[in-house]
């Protein structure tokens, strides 16, 4: 009886091993290294509405950055597909931001803008310089995975992706995490919309002046729950103005929109402060 009991236990263990392996394979890689780098080298300014990156510090810690990007590249498509939606989104956002920093460091400090890394015929966002989910990728590929219709349909990602430019939503001083993603994305939206250098009501024209992000990605905002750019801005009226009358007009979607010029200068610490 004792031997039969042991044999039965062993058979149950063998049956459980594939399940345990699947659980292990589905584990999301730690963002601990990325958190360390962000905490060390991202400088938050303008009352929390913007940030600048200490690229000199990032270069000193390049070995750590390389370790983190290797961890990202080691994730397989099968592992990624086994995760929940929020974990997949957080992984792609962190990957986009980390590989963007890596891209900037290929030319820093001789760089005024990330656009300097491209040419008339080649975009810096279409250079396949890294591996992700088993394939050579470029930054547009990662953004495209997040924007694909029917996959996530969450325009808040545009306030989490950082394109290394002053006009872009800030690089946050901590990594995105699937368990906190909704709160983190809401905070990123509120922080960006509350920055009057990039989104503001102009009393002289009676128009709402907003980032060109809302022009470039209008289709994404239309697919989101707000249904349109104006609908999205209406839902975040409290972040855009302290004036109750302006908020009411925002919620009524009665304000004309004007898109501001985009500031493509590098978001390095040398540019800290308003310009």
pLDDT at residue 1 greater than cutoff 70:
no
Q: Which of 8-22, 26-40, 131-145 has the highest mean pLDDT?
A: 131-145
Integer Cα distance of 99 and 143 in angstroms: 12
**C-alpha closest to that of 94 among 193, 189, 152, 178:** 178
pLDDT tens across 27-57, in order?
888 999 999 999 999 999 999 999 999 999 9
pLDDT at residue 19 greater than cutoff 60:
no
Q: Please, are residues 173 and 57 in contact by the beta-carbon 8 Å criterion?
A: no
pLDDT (average), residues 184-193: 97
Structural domain spans, the chain: 28-198+260-271
Integer Cα distance of 236 and 239 in angstroms: 6
pLDDT band at 21 (very low <50, low <70, confident <90, very high): very low
User: How many beta carbons lie within 10 A of that of residue 63, not counting itself?
Assistant: 8
Q: How far is CA 171 from CA 96, 209, 254, in A?
A: 11, 22, 32
pLDDT (average), residues 172-182: 98
The set of residues, in sequence order, having a beta carbon less than 8 Å from that of 173 and lying 6+ positions away, is: 38, 39, 42, 44, 51
pLDDT (average), residues 207-216: 97
Distance of CA 4 to the CA centre of its chain: 55
pLDDT at residue 172 greater than cutoff 70:
yes
pLDDT tens across 234-261, in order?
999 999 999 999 999 999 999 999 999 9
Q: Which of 76-80, 203-207, 223-227 is predicted with the least confidence, judged by mean pLDDT?
A: 223-227
Q: Please, are residues 160 and 205 in contact by the beta-carbon 8 Å criterion?
A: no
What is the token pair recorded at 170?
Answer: 């800030």
**C-alpha closest to that of 106 among 135, 51, 66, 141:** 66
- What was the pLDDT predicted at 7? 56
What burial class does residue 103 get, using C-beta atoms within 10 Å of its C-beta: 0-12 exposed, 13-18 middle, 19+ buried? Answer: buried
pLDDT (average), residues 79-97: 98
pLDDT (average), residues 190-198: 95
Integer Cα distance of 13 and 16 in angstroms: 5
Q: What is the mean pLDDT of the chain?
A: 90
């Amino acid at each position: 009886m004792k031997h039969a009991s042991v044999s039965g236990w062993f058979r149950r263990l063998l049956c459980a091993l594939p399940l345990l392996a699947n659980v292990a394979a589905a584990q999301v890689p730690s963002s601990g290294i990325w958190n360390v780098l962000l905490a060390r080298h991202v400088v938050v300014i303008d009352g929390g509405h913007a940030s600048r990156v200490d690229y000199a510090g990032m270069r000193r810690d390049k070995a750590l950055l390389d370790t983190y990007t290797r961890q990202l590249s080691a994730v397989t498509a099968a592992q990624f597909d086994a995760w929940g939606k929020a974990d997949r989104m957080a992984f792609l956002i962190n990957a986009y931001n980390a590989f963007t920093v890596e891209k900037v460091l290929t030319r820093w400090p001789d760089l005024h803008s990330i656009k300097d890394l491209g040419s008339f015929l080649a975009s810096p966002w279409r250079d396949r310089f890294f591996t992700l989910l088993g394939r050579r990728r470029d930054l547009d590929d990662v953004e495209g995975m997040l924007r694909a219709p029917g996959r996530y349909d969450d325009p808040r990602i545009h306030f989490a992706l950082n394109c290394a430019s002053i006009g872009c939503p800030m690089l946050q001083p901590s990594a995105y995490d699937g368990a906190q993603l909704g709160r983190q994305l809401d905070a990123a939206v509120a922080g960006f919309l509350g920055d009057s250098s990039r989104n503001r009501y102009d009393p002289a024209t009676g128009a709402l002046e907003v980032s060109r992000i809302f022009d470039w990605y209008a289709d994404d905002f239309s697919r989101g729950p707000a249904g349109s750019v104006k609908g999205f801005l209406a839902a975040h009226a409290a972040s855009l103005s302290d004036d109750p009358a302006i908020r009411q007009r925002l919620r009524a979607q009665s304000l004309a929109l004007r898109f501001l010029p985009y500031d493509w200068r590098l978001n390095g610490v040398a540019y800290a402060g308003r310009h």
